[in-house]
Amino acid sequence: MLDLKFIRENAELVKTAVKNKNEKADIDKIIELDEAKRIAQFNFDQKKAEQNKVSKEIGLKKKNKEDASDLINQMASVAQEIKDLKAELTDAETALNDAIMWVPNLPHADVPVGKSEDDNQVIREWGKKRDFTFQPLDHVEIAEKNALLDLERGAKISGSGFPIHTGMGARLERALINFMLDYHILHHGYTEIMVPSLVNPTSMKGTGQLPKLKDDMYCVSEDDMYLIPTAEVPITNFFSQEILKNDALPQKFVGFSNCFRREAGSYGKDTRGLQRLHQFNKVEMVRFVHPEESWKVLEEMVNDAEDILKALNLPYRLLRLCTGDTSFASAMTYDLEVWAPGANKYLEVSSVSNFADFQARRASIRFRDADGKVQFVHTLNGSGLATPRTIIAILENYQNADGSFEIPEVLKAYLPKI
C-alpha cells in the first residue's frame, strides 16, 4: 500500500508506475475518493464534537441537580444525524480502501521499464554448463528410470500438478529441504520458523496477494481461509499490527512450507513433470529491516539464495526483472534461474524482492526508531529455494549416460546409504 499523502502529491509518478507495471488502478478516482472521505470525516467530526460538548454539559447539570431536559431534547435528533454521517464516512472509507488496495508498489528507479519477461536484465551468470558426451535426458525420463516420481497416481488422488515423490525421490526432496534450511541457519544467520499453511484474508491482504491474486489461490470458503501460495505470507505477517522496539530490528527468518497455487490460466504452459505444480515445497527467507538497510539487504539475500546453487554446483543466471514482470507488491525483484540441460533452458528457482514499506503499510508493521518516532519497517523475502525445479536441475545436471544420477556432494550427509 502506498501512502495516500504520497499519492496525492505525486499523482503523475504513481500513474506512470501503474502503467509500467501493467496495472489498472485509477489514480484520479482514488484522489476523488480521498477528498470525499476527508469531507465525510470533517462532517462527522464536527457533529460529534457538538454532541460531546453538550453531553458533557448535561452531565454537569445532572451532577448539580439542575434540569437538563432542554439540552437532552435538543440532542435527540443529533444522535441520528451522527449515525448517518458515520455511515457516510464508513462508506467513503471502504470505497477508498478498496481502491487503494489495487495500487501497486512503485518500482525502484533502477528497475528497467519493460512489458514482459523478454525485457528482464541478465545481471550475471555462474557455473559452467556441462558438456555431455551423450544426449542428456530430461528430468521426467530420469525420474522414471529411477522410480523417483509417480505423477499418474498423484493425478488420480488429487489432480494434475500434485506430484507424488517415491522412494529415493522422496528422500532426495527431504534431504534438499533440510540441507537448504540448515545452510541458511548455519551460514547466513537465519532463525528457523514453522508456520501455518492456512491463513485468514487479513494476512493475504497484508502481503499483497489479496485482492489482486484471489483467483490464483485455493480458498477454504467454509472457514474463510486460504492455502498459502508461499511461506512469505504467514512469516511476513508474524509482526503484523505490531510496533517493534528499536532494538528488535533486524529480524531474519527462514521457513519451510508447502505452497499451493491454482495456476489459473497457465494450463499447458511449461507443465512437463515438475516444472509447474499446484503443490510444491519451498524454503523461504524473510527479513524485517530498518528502511535505510533494505537495498543493501536485498543484495545480501540474493547472495544467500545463490549460495545454495553454488553449494549444489548448479549453473545459473541472475536476472533483474523489468517493471512489467515485477510483482504487484515489489519495488525490485531478482530472479535466479538454474540451468536444466535436459529441458535445454533456464528455470526459475528463486525470486528475491524488496517490498520497501509496501507490505509494512498493509500489514501495519512498524518500529520505534532511535528518536522514538514510529516508522514502517521494510520487508524483503526470497526463495531459498523452491524444490521442484532445483530437483529438475540436480537430476539433469548430475545424470549419467546409463540414466542413473549422482548425488550432489553437499546432500550426501543428508542421504545416508540404506
- Shortest distance (Å) from residue 134 CB to RNA: 47
| Cβ-based burial of 4 (10 A; exposed 0-12, middle 13-18, buried ≥19) | middle
* Rounded (5°) CA angle 144-145-147: 60
Q: Which residue is listed with cell 530420469?
A: 142
Q: Which residue is listed with cell 485455493?
A: 218
User: Rounded to whole angstroms, how far apart are CA atoms 148 and 143?
Assistant: 5
Number of residues that bind RNA (CB under 7 A): 33
- Does position 45 interact with RNA (CB under 7 A)? The reply is yes
Is residue 404 among the annotated active site residues? no
Angstrom distances, CA of residue 164 to CA of 129, 159, 398, 407:
29, 11, 21, 20
User: Rounded to whole angstroms, how far apart are CA atoms 138 and 389?
Assistant: 12
Residues 4-23 that bind RNA (CB under 7 A): 4-5
Stretch that binds RNA, among 37-45, 122-130, 279-287, 337-345 (CB under 7 A): 37-45
Return phi, psi of residue 386, to 5°: -80, 140
Give 38 or 130: the residue with its C-beta nearer to RNA: 38
- Shortest distance (Å) from residue 76 CB to RNA: 5
- Does position 83 interact with RNA (CB under 7 A)? The reply is yes
- Shortest distance (Å) from residue 57 CB to RNA: 8
- For residues 90 to 109, the per-residue mask of contacts with RNA, x marking binding by CB under 7 A and - elsewhere, is x-------------------
Angstrom distances, CA of residue 70 to CA of 55, 56, 78, 158, 346:
12, 14, 14, 71, 80
Write the CB contacts of 5 (distance below 8 Å, at least 6 apart in sequence): none
Q: Which of 350, 351, 353, 383 is catalytic?
A: 351
Q: Which of 81, 141, 242, 348 is catalytic?
A: 348
Enumerate helices (H) and strands (E) in the chain, giving the number of each.
12, 14
- Shortest distance (Å) from residue 299 CB to RNA: 29
- For residues 346 to 375, the per-residue mask of contacts with RNA, x marking binding by CB under 7 A and - elsewhere, is --------------------x-x-----x-
Is residue 261 among the annotated active site residues? yes
User: Rounded to whole angstroms, how far apart are CA atoms 165 and 148?
Assistant: 6
Residues 51-80 that bind RNA (CB under 7 A): 51-56, 58-60, 62-63, 72, 75-76, 78-79
Among 18, 33, 44, 341, binds RNA (CB under 7 A): 44
Among 6, 29, 49, 191, binds RNA (CB under 7 A): 49
Is residue 262 among the annotated active site residues? no
Residues 237-266 that bind RNA (CB under 7 A): 243
User: Rounded to whole angstroms, how far apart are CA atoms 13 and 108?
Assistant: 12
Is residue 361 among the annotated active site residues? no
Is residue 158 among the annotated active site residues? no
The 3-state DSSP class for residue 263 equals: coil
Would you please indicate which residues are annotated as catalytic (active-site) residues?
261, 276, 348, 351, 389
Q: Which residues bind RNA (CB under 7 A)?
A: 4-5, 38, 41-42, 44-46, 48-49, 51-56, 58-60, 62-63, 72, 75-76, 78-79, 82-83, 90, 243, 366, 368, 374
